[in-house]
Amino acid sequence: MSFKTHLPLSISILTYSFYFLIYLILILSNSFHLIKSQQIINSIQNALNERDQIYFGIWTDSQSGFSDTPALINSRLGLNISAFQIAQQIPLPKYNYTTGAGGPAPEYLIEQTQTDAAVFLTVYPTSIDAVADSDLNALGIQLASYKNDLNRTVFLRFAPEMQGAWNPYGFQPTAFLALWKRMYTIIKSTSNSTAIVWAPNTPQSYPYSQSTNGLSTADLSILDTNHDGQINNDDDPFTPFYPGDEFVDWIGISSYYKGPTFQNINVPQPSGYCGSVLNGTLGSNYNWYELFCNKPGKACMIAESGAAFHLQAIDNQASTAKNIIDLQRAWWQDCITSTDFFRQFPRVKMTMHFEHLKMEVDGGKNDLRDYRLTNDTATLEAFKADLTSVIGSYVVAGYRPLPANVQASGRPTSSPGVTKDQNQTGIVFQTERKPLVTGPPTLFGNRKGSGSKNFEFSGLSLMTGLMGACLGVKLVIR
């Protein structure tokens, strides 16, 4: 054959070789991205008791005079909430049949919902030094019985808001860390299925005007994270109290809106407020979400939250929200029913609402604050409508029958899930939660990135089809 005869064939071979080379390069490139992406996916391990959807929890006000219950919450909302918060102290005080104080938390109230909602138990140490191993063992047995006897998903939030001196265990990092590690070890030896939640307070206004007088040299050294000889808002509000990944299952935070600046007035929060609490606000350079929420095997939560409607400020000229619905709608649309919020913070897998009417002291003045979303009829109906519209994003509790020893309402003669002598059991009607002046939320400032990442790569099947078309062959990838 002449050169002219071979020329078209040579060009064809070169063309196919060129396409095949491109194909191999794309295959190798895509394989690299697949491997890298799989490594990223593998690094995002589920936390203990984590679900694909988000838990929406409520902390009901069951103290004497209010007597709200989880069952009543479900009835008002017309759906089954997936977690309920209850509280008790440690060491566990005996139940007082006269005052209704003391004893273990009223878990039977969750049984009376006739659902499989999770138990979210908050435990407050009465003193940093008062908690003995025997107290922790008893708590572990109590938690294990919720799972073993009642088949409940269980969360334990132990010693929350530990940066605050308003708690008897607060603002003492050395002793707190020792107690926490001892607690975690003992609880896990008895109730390994309990998810233990480390939940600090919001960094806003840290260190909350607290005096450092009386702090040990060791505590001062730990708290002074920037080593400038002072404890102030430039210091890290979180890590001095963090016990380490091996001693934590979930990471939480308290997040409240109590009005602008230092005034007890009713002004709705600005859009994006809740996100700014998680990823840094003016006056705090520390991004809680970025620091804690991308850890493998961990999940994050808003462990207690709400917006305060100041009942004594309704007629205040500075109050732009004249009705509770005007203030609370801004809260739930920003923090509970916002799909943008959970898209920005995908590792927030639970949000817990503080459904209380509470007298609080701020700036030396008593201030009656209503955090409730389900008390006022107009507020309830508007909240129900918005919550229903996004309910697919949330875990909804399923039905289950009452245990044999629990009646449909009222306090049972024996407390389910508690094996201690019955003279020490009963409902907790009061929990001491009297925060020092922490200052109102800071509203303005530069919002930082949440630390979440998006990864996109071309599909292997698409490239295979394109290369197959170029080569005129059918490629099968198995």
Q: What is the mean pLDDT of residues 267-286?
A: 88
The pLDDT, as a whole number, for residue 386 is 99
Nearby residues of 258 by Cβ (< 8 Å), 6 or more positions away: 264, 307, 308, 362, 369, 440, 441
Q: Percent of the chain at pLDDT above 90?
A: 68
Please, what is the average pLDDT of the chain? Answer: 83
Higher-confidence residue of 303 and 433: namely 303
**Residues 271/435, Cβ–Cβ less than 8 Å:** no
Rounded-to-integer distance, Cα 309 and Cα 326, Å: 10
Q: What is the mean pLDDT of residues 421-447?
A: 34
**Segment 354-411, tens digit of pLDDT:** 999 999 988 788 999 999 999 999 999 999 999 999 999 999 999 999 998 888 888 7
Nearby residues of 85 by Cβ (< 8 Å), 6 or more positions away: 57, 58, 59, 60, 120, 121, 122, 157, 304, 352
Catalytic residue, chosen from 107, 161, 360, 456, is 161
Identify the sign of the CA torsion 224, 255, 336, 115.
Answer: positive
Res. 472 pLDDT band, cuts 50 70 90: very low
Q: Percent of the chain at pLDDT above 70?
A: 76
**Cross-strand partners of 252:** 301
The edge-to-edge listing of strands for the beta sheet with 309-310 is 309-310, 365-370, 357-362
**Residues 151/159, Cβ–Cβ less than 8 Å:** no
Tokens representing residue 181 in the block: 């590690």
Shortest CA distance to 401 belongs to which of 112, 85, 117? 112
Q: Is 304 annotated as catalytic?
A: yes
- What predicted TM-score, i.e. pTM, was given to this entire model? 0.80
- pLDDT of residue 425 exceeding 70: no
The pLDDT, as a whole number, for residue 96 is 80
The pLDDT, as a whole number, for residue 301 is 99
Q: What is the mean pLDDT of residues 335-339?
A: 98
Q: How many CB atoms lie within 10 A of CB 272?
A: 15
- pLDDT of residue 441 exceeding 50: no
- Report the Cα–Cα distance between both ends of the chain, in Å, rounded: 42
- pLDDT of residue 74 exceeding 50: yes
Cα 97 versus chain centre, distance: 34
Q: What is the mean pLDDT of residues 327-331?
A: 99
Catalytic residue, chosen from 50, 107, 111, 304, is 304
Rounded-to-integer distance, Cα 177 and Cα 211, Å: 20
**Cross-strand partners of 299:** 250
Q: Cα dist. 233→177, 243, 285, 338, 470 in Å?
A: 21, 21, 8, 30, 62
Rounded-to-integer distance, Cα 82 and Cα 149, Å: 19
The pLDDT, as a whole number, for residue 345 is 98
Of the candidate ranges 260-269, 336-345, 422-431, the one whose mean pLDDT is the lowest: 422-431
The pLDDT, as a whole number, for residue 28 is 54
**Residues 61/101, Cβ–Cβ less than 8 Å:** no
Of the candidate ranges 35-44, 79-88, 262-271, the one whose mean pLDDT is the lowest: 35-44
- pLDDT of residue 29 exceeding 90: no
Q: Is 246 annotated as catalytic?
A: no
Highest mean pLDDT among 272-281, 287-296, 453-462 belongs to 287-296
The pLDDT, as a whole number, for residue 41 is 41
- CATH assignment of 44-424, among 3.30.390.10, 1.10.10.10, 3.30.365.10, 3.20.20.80: 3.20.20.80
Nearby residues of 167 by Cβ (< 8 Å), 6 or more positions away: 124, 159, 160, 161
Cα 131 versus chain centre, distance: 25
Higher-confidence residue of 262 and 31: namely 262
**Segment 213-270, tens digit of pLDDT:** 999 999 999 999 999 999 999 999 999 999 999 999 999 999 999 998 767 899 999 9
The pLDDT, as a whole number, for residue 435 is 35
Res. 82 pLDDT band, cuts 50 70 90: very high
Domain range list for the chain: 3-40+457-471, 44-424
Of the candidate ranges 41-55, 75-89, 187-201, 240-254, the one whose mean pLDDT is the lowest: 41-55
- pLDDT of residue 439 exceeding 70: no
Higher-confidence residue of 92 and 23: namely 92
- pLDDT of residue 465 exceeding 50: no
Q: Cα dist. 275→278, 420, 448 in Å?
A: 5, 43, 9
Nearby residues of 5 by Cβ (< 8 Å), 6 or more positions away: none
